[in-house]
Structure 1
Amino acid sequence: MREFTVPPVEAAPQVGGLADAVFDHAERDPDRVALGRKDADGVWRDVTAAGFRDEVLALAKGLIAHGVRFGDRVAIMSRTRYEWTLFDFALWTLGAQPVPVYPTSSAEQVFWMLHDAQVTACVVEHEDHAMTVGSVIDRLPRLQRLWQLDAGRGAVAELTEAGAEIDEDVVHRHRRAVTPDSVATVIYTSGTTGRPKGCVITHANFMFETDMLIGRWEPVFRSRPGDAAATLLFLPLAHVFGRMVEVAAIRGAVKLGHQPVMAAAELLPDLAAFRPSFVLAVPYVFEKVFHAARRRAEAEGRRGPFDKAVDVAVRYAEALEHKAFGIGPGPSAALRMQHQFFEKTVYGKIREALGGRMRHAMSGGSGMNRQLGLFFEGAGITVFEGYGLTESSAAATANPPERTKYGTVGQPVPGTTVHIAEDGEVWLHGGQVFSGYLNDPRATAAVLNDGWLATGDLGVLDEDGYLTITGRKKEILVTSGGKSVAPSGLEERVRNHPLVAQCIVVGNDRPYVAALVTLDQEAVDHWLAMQNRAPLPAAELVRDPALEAEIRRAVVTANTAVSQAESIRTFRILAHPFSEEHGLLTPSLKLKRKAIEKAYAAEVDALYD
Structure 2
Amino acid sequence: MSTIPFLLMRSADRFSTRPALSEPLADDKMATLTYQELREQVQLFAGYLQQQNLTKGQRVMIWSASCSNWLVAYFGSLLVGLVVVPLDVNTKEDFLQRLVEITDATFLITTHKNYTSLRSNSLPFIDIDALPTAPLDTAQLPKIEEQDLAELVFTSGTTGQPKGVMLSHQNIVSNAMASVEVVQITSRDRLLSILPLSHMLEMTIEIAILYAGASVVYARSLSPDTLFKLLVTQSITGMVLVPQALQLFMNGIEREVRRQKREKQWALLHKVAGRLPFFLRRYLFSTVHKRFGGHFNFFVSGGAHLPPALGYAWERMGFRVLQGYGATECSPVISVNPRHDHTIESVGKALPGVEVRIGEDNEIEVRGPNVALGYWNNPEATAAAFRNGWYATGDLGYLDKQHNLYLKGRKKNLIVLANGMNVYPEDIENVLQQQPMVKEAVVFGLNEKDQGSTVHAVLLLEDANQGKAAVQGANKSLASHQQIKGFTVWPEEDFPRTHTLKVKRPDVLDTLSELRQSGKARP
TM-score after normalising by structure 2: 0.91
Deviations 1:62-94 (A, max 9, x none): 222344442121111111111111111111111
Match of 2:250 in 1: 290
Match of 2:61 in 1: 75
Indicate which of 126, 132, 155 corresponds to 1:147. Answer: 126
Indicate which of 511, 519, 522 corresponds to 1:599. Answer: 511
Match of 1:532 in 2: none
C-alpha contact 1:478 1:508 (8 A) present in aligned 2:
no
Q: How does 1:88-237 map to 2 (within 5 A)?
A: 88-127=74-113, 129-132=114-117, 134-137=118-121, 140=122, 143=123, 145-149=124-128, 154-156=129-131, 159-160=132-133, 163=134, 166=135, 168-169=136-137, 171=138, 173-174=140-141, 177-191=143-157, 195-218=161-184, 221=185, 228-237=188-197
Is residue 325 of structure 2 the alignment partner of residue 387 of structure 1? Answer: yes
Shift of 1:273: 2.1
C-alpha contact 2:42 2:76 (8 A) present in aligned 1:
yes
The CA distance in 2 between the partners of 1:494 and 1:269, in whole Å, is 34
Shift of 1:469: 0.4
Match of 1:398 in 2: 336
Match of 1:244 in 2: 204
Match of 2:259 in 1: 299
Indicate which of 54, 71, 74 corresponds to 1:85. Answer: 71
C-alpha contact 1:190 1:587 (8 A) present in aligned 2:
no
C-alpha contact 2:488 2:522 (8 A) present in aligned 1:
no
| Secondary structure at 1:352 match in 2 | helix
C-alpha contact 1:79 1:125 (8 A) present in aligned 2:
no
Aligned residue pair count: 517
| Secondary structure at 1:568 match in 2 | coil
Match of 2:487 in 1: 571
Alpha carbons of 1:560 and 1:181: their partners in 2 closer, same or farther (altered >3 Å)? Answer: farther
The CA distance in 2 between the partners of 1:603 and 1:314, in whole Å, is 44
Q: Which has the higher contact order (CA 8 A, sep 6+)?
A: 1
The CA distance in 2 between the partners of 1:178 and 1:66, in whole Å, is 19
| Secondary structure at 1:404 match in 2 | coil
C-alpha contact 2:242 2:500 (8 A) present in aligned 1:
no
| Secondary structure at 1:591 match in 2 | coil
Alpha carbons of 1:172 and 1:408: their partners in 2 closer, same or farther (altered >3 Å)? Answer: farther
C-alpha contact 1:192 1:591 (8 A) present in aligned 2:
no
Indicate which of 33, 37, 40 corresponds to 2:26. Answer: 40
The CA distance in 2 between the partners of 1:599 and 1:502, in whole Å, is 16
The CA distance in 1 between the partners of 2:262 and 2:81, in whole Å, is 57
| Secondary structure at 2:361 match in 1 | coil
C-alpha contact 1:276 1:358 (8 A) present in aligned 2:
yes
Alpha carbons of 1:604 and 1:505: their partners in 2 closer, same or farther (altered >3 Å)? Answer: farther
Please, which runs of 5 or more residues in structure 1 have no aligned partner? 1-12, 321-335, 525-540, 543-547
Q: How does 1:509-588 map to 2 (within 5 A)?
A: 509-510=447-448, 511=451, 512-519=454-461, 524=462, 542=464, 548-549=465-466, 551-577=467-493, 584-588=496-500
Amino acid of the structure 2 residue aligned with 1:446: A
Shift of 1:56: 0.8
Alpha carbons of 1:561 and 1:65: their partners in 2 closer, same or farther (altered >3 Å)? Answer: farther
Is residue 19 of structure 2 the alignment partner of residue 21 of structure 1? Answer: no
| Secondary structure at 2:4 match in 1 | coil
Please, which runs of 5 or more residues in structure 2 have no aligned partner? none
Shift of 1:261: 4.0
Alpha carbons of 1:147 and 1:276: their partners in 2 closer, same or farther (altered >3 Å)? Answer: same
Match of 1:325 in 2: none
Alpha carbons of 1:73 and 1:578: their partners in 2 closer, same or farther (altered >3 Å)? Answer: farther
Q: How does 1:467-478 map to 2 (within 5 A)?
A: 467-478=405-416
Alignment RMSD: 2.5
| Secondary structure at 2:446 match in 1 | coil
The CA distance in 1 between the partners of 2:341 and 2:360, in whole Å, is 28
C-alpha contact 2:191 2:216 (8 A) present in aligned 1:
yes
The CA distance in 2 between the partners of 1:300 and 1:267, in whole Å, is 22
Shift of 1:313: 3.3
The CA distance in 1 between the partners of 2:431 and 2:156, in whole Å, is 24
| Secondary structure at 1:269 match in 2 | helix
Alpha carbons of 1:430 and 1:561: their partners in 2 closer, same or farther (altered >3 Å)? Answer: farther
C-alpha contact 2:95 2:158 (8 A) present in aligned 1:
no
Alpha carbons of 1:380 and 1:438: their partners in 2 closer, same or farther (altered >3 Å)? Answer: same
The CA distance in 2 between the partners of 1:377 and 1:276, in whole Å, is 18
Deviations 1:488-520 (A, max 9, x none): 22223323456544422133323432222224x
Alpha carbons of 1:404 and 1:126: their partners in 2 closer, same or farther (altered >3 Å)? Answer: farther
Match of 1:429 in 2: 367
Shift of 1:353: 2.4
Shift of 1:211: 0.8
C-alpha contact 2:244 2:501 (8 A) present in aligned 1:
no
Deviations 1:99-121 (A, max 9, x none): 11111111222122222222111
C-alpha contact 1:502 1:577 (8 A) present in aligned 2:
no
Alpha carbons of 1:79 and 1:557: their partners in 2 closer, same or farther (altered >3 Å)? Answer: farther
Deviations 1:11-42 (A, max 9, x none): xx1xx421122222333442222222323322
Match of 1:60 in 2: 46
| Secondary structure at 2:151 match in 1 | strand
| Secondary structure at 2:101 match in 1 | helix
Amino acid of the structure 1 residue aligned with 2:497: L
Shift of 1:361: 2.2
Shift of 1:391: 0.4
Indicate which of 456, 467, 474 corresponds to 2:394. Answer: 456
Match of 2:214 in 1: 254
Match of 2:425 in 1: 487
The CA distance in 2 between the partners of 1:492 and 1:394, in whole Å, is 24
C-alpha contact 1:82 1:257 (8 A) present in aligned 2:
no
C-alpha contact 2:15 2:213 (8 A) present in aligned 1:
no
| Secondary structure at 2:147 match in 1 | coil
The CA distance in 2 between the partners of 1:460 and 1:191, in whole Å, is 29
The CA distance in 2 between the partners of 1:18 and 1:286, in whole Å, is 30
Deviations 1:362-387 (A, max 9, x none): 11111212222222222111111110
